[in-house]
Amino acid sequence: MLYRGMDKIALDAAYDNPRAVGLSRLQEMMARWTARSRDVASSGRLTEIRYGEGERNLIDIFEASRDSGFQGRATIAFIHGGYWRSQDKETYRFLAKGALERGLNFANIEYTLAPQQTLGGIVQEIREAIGCLNRHLARIVPDHAILHISGHSAGGHLVAMNLNERGVASGTSISGIFDLEPIRLTYLNEALRLTHEDVALYSPQRLIPESAPPLIVAYGAEELPELRRQSEDFHAAWKAGQLDSRLLRLPRHDHFSILEELADPEGLILKEIVGHITFA
């Protein structure tokens, strides 16, 4: 057995989210997201900025109205998933709708995918993106006060790895991956090429800090058992370290549908994030 009593076939299935949801259903969902993303992009105040020299070192920034909600003084940044090896920010522009209706800016971060980039390189790119985003927000919103970083799946991992970056007030990891050892042992490692050293260096589960901003850990009740376990174990480790963590187990949601709770202005994840945004 390779990991927690699972052989290679079982372990591959344990992390195959598209298969668990159903490929046809996922394709339909992604098509709807793409259409909604086009609508949001065409109607919102969208600017694309560059944070590095890589082709994918780009950030979408949707500016909220200064006449509503938080008046653009706070921003939710989002990091997409795809197991570090697929997806792009354009598909996830639809998530800006909820934030904008709440008066929050929305930033959508893209990064170089594996195998063109190592996992360590991706973590560093997100670090650079956060720094660039903070500088840009300070220029366009002189009284900007709060940056909340969020991410889904692989993006949830990247949130946990960068929560202590300067200028980050709080974070949300949605259906995240926090221990990379099972990933190293699955089909996913053909692109990621993780080593034992990578697992030690880039597994948030093994890197619990002494202090950190508040973190929301969210997952869907209908996700694969391994994905549920990853979130539960990470939250437990965070709490054992006496860090501020809130675990959200969302009923009726799978690995992908859970994102609707961020896109909806009244969504449970967005409401929880809003509860963390306070101005000094």
Instruction: List, in order, residues 6 or more apart from 92 with CB less than 8 Å away.
Output: 33, 37, 78, 80, 108, 259
Q: What does DSSP assign to residue 105?
A: E
| Number of helical H runs and strand E runs in the chain | 12, 8
Report the C-alpha gap between 244 and 158 in whole angstroms. Answer: 18
Contact between 227 and 175 under an 8 Å Cβ cutoff? The reply is yes
Q: What are phi and psi of 263, to 5 degrees?
A: -75, -35
pLDDT of amino acid 26? 96
pLDDT of amino acid 44? 76
Q: Other C-beta atoms within 10 Å of 53: how many?
A: 6
Q: Domains for the chain: give ranges and CATH numbers.
A: 8-276 (3.40.50.1820)
At residue 48's C-alpha, the angle toward residues 44 and 51, to 5°, is 145
pLDDT of the chain along its 280 residues, tens only? 789 999 999 999 999 999 999 999 999 999 999 999 999 999 879 999 999 999 999 999 999 988 877 888 999 999 999 999 999 999 999 999 999 999 999 999 999 999 999 999 999 999 999 999 999 999 999 999 999 999 999 999 999 999 999 999 999 999 999 999 999 999 999 999 999 999 999 999 999 999 999 999 999 999 999 999 999 999 999 999 999 999 999 999 999 999 999 999 999 999 999 998 887 5
- Secondary structure (3-state) at 220: strand
pLDDT of amino acid 278? 80
